[in-house]
Amino acid sequence: MISQRCPVCKSRRIRRGYRTTPFWQKIVFVYNLLCDNCNWEFRGFAVPGTVNSHRSVRDTLAHILAAEWIWLERWRGVSPRSLLNPSDFGTVDSLKTRWAEVEKDYSEFTSRLSDELLTRVISYRNTKGEEWAYPLGQMIQHVMNHSTYHRGQVTTLLRQLGAAALPLDLLVFMDLRRV
């Protein structure tokens, strides 16, 4: 059981009983990678003026990448003080290149997942310097949910800009794996 104080409401948060498996985490990881790569061909990459959490498709994709990168670093015992900067990715190719590096690191990391590792509590410092600790399995699920949320925003941005977006549902992915 882990107990931490919520920084917003100051109540105690208790986490217990969460269980996942290495097999499921690997499936969700591969799904996440597939979905992360679905919107690369859009030409309005850095077009501002759309309404969302981030200013453009590029900024939103860069945010997804930055979050996936920073969490992987935390799981490796490093607590970076800042996220990657979206302006460092001026082209689709520059973002794709960095993403491929992070994907490779994720693949290596997930190849070693075990039941024991998924339940291990990992401490880290966030970008504000605050210390937090969660079981690895919960952190992985958080990252996958975070990426899914922002990929939905990319879909909205693409539609606002008149572009088509691919279906990114987990069950669509599961059906594709059966083919």
Residues in a beta bridge with 134: 122
Domains of the chain with CATH codes = 2-178 (1.20.120.450)
Question: Closest by alpha carbon to 113, among 22, 16, 18, 5?
Answer: 22
pLDDT in tens, 124-158: 999 999 999 999 988 998 998 899 888 888 888 88
The DSSP 8-state label assigned to residue 48 in this structure reads: -
Question: Closest by alpha carbon to 68, among 6, 169, 149?
Answer: 149
pLDDT in tens, 55-94: 788 888 999 999 999 999 999 999 999 999 999 998 889 9
| pTM of the predicted structure, to 2 decimals | 0.74
| Rounded-to-integer distance, Cα 30 and Cα 111, Å | 11
